[in-house]
Amino acid sequence: MTESASAPARGTPKAVLALLLATLLGVGACTGAQGGGGSAQADDTAGPEPAVPAQVTVTPEAGSENVAPRDEVSVTVTGGTIASVALTNPEGEEVEGELAGDRTTWSVTEPLGYDKTYTFSGEASGADGAPVPIEGSFTTATPEATVGVSSNVGDGRTYGVAMPIALNFDAPVENRAAVERALQVETTPDIEGSWAWLYGGRSVHWRPKEYWEPGTEVSVSANVYGVRTGEGTYGGNDLTVDFSIGRSQIVKANTQTHRMEVFRDGEKVAEYRASFGLESDPGRVTRSGVHVVMAKHDKYFMNNPGYGYEDFEVDWAVRISNNGEFAHSAPWSVADQGERNVSHGCINLAPDNAKEYYDSAMIGDPFEIEGSSQPLRQSRTDYYDWTIPWDEWTTLSALND
């Protein structure tokens, strides 16, 4: 009884073990199918990435207003290329532009007009092959006023080694950094120089750190048309000018020794006895500092009603400032020349000496005067650039860091 009752108990573990083993194997097989098999099934069924349509960005955004004529105007395409593009003005004329080699960007290459609506048109193509329109329009600014720019140097002219470049504006410039970024001076050979804003923003001058190297070729461009010069005001014109620097001629004059020496290309070529402004009268003193030859006149009529003369004719007059300072012929003061100062501020020379210097002088030549009790004035119409130390000069740039 005991043995017959216990026999099934000995058989049961074998059946259970077989069942458990079968179950475990089955579970393992399912798990393997889910992990490896499921992953393989995903790879087998995945197709190619769906093609993405081209994305078009126009700058400025469609509907923009008050766009400056020199602001960025462009088309950029991501996920595709530009098939065709145009920007047209209200008359239907196309604006000049440049398409990049990879055909993903297009940019305007000429300034736009004021108070005009411009319209984009064209088409981009994406990887999906579907065309995407290039479209949108914007309107340029209507200036309250435009500010013109002019230059003191002329195209094809030759100047002395102290000649500053002066760009003069019709009105004060408030947005000086933007305007200065639109200015460029290129020289051959390369020369260190800097812009400086003078006269309350009505003028910006460029000069080298030292006098120009003789023979330098200079190219100036002022691309200020369409640039915001201030609140509601914009540049009215562009300007370009090319000029040359001639030989070096430097005058060194001393009011105390009553002498004027001329150095050409480093060698002394002349020395003249001279009479300078009467020192006992502050209104007649010849001022010290680096002057610059500004003009030449074979005959000139001097006017100074405060000192009792008008339309007083002199010969061989070389203007070195707008304070009324000239080097000129003065036959009436020959006896004083080299001995004492008696003029009203000019440099008096004997007639032959005045003619010789006149013939040699070039606009832009430096005329260095020392010994005077008063310095050259900083006035809007003078070239007082060289009286400002270089370290101070560079701080007058709107782009100075």
- Give the residue numbers marked as catalytic: 328, 346
DSSP 359: H
Helices first, then strands: H and E counts in the chain: 5, 28
DSSP string, 108-140: E-S---SS-EEEEEEEEEETT--EEE--EEEEB
The closest of 227, 333, 345, 217 to 276, measured between CA atoms, is 345
DSSP string, 14-44: HHHHHHHHHHHHHHHHHHHIIIIIHHHHHHH
- Do the beta carbons of residue 358 and residue 260 sit within 8 Å? no
Helix (H) / strand (E) element for 396: namely: none
- What tokens appear for 3 in the block? 């043995």
Among 120, 139, 119, smallest CA distance to 67 is for 139
In degrees and rounded to multiples of 5, residue 272 shows phi and psi of -120, 140
The two beta strands, 326-329 and 233-235, are unpaired
Q: How far apart are CA 368 and CA 387, in angstroms?
A: 10
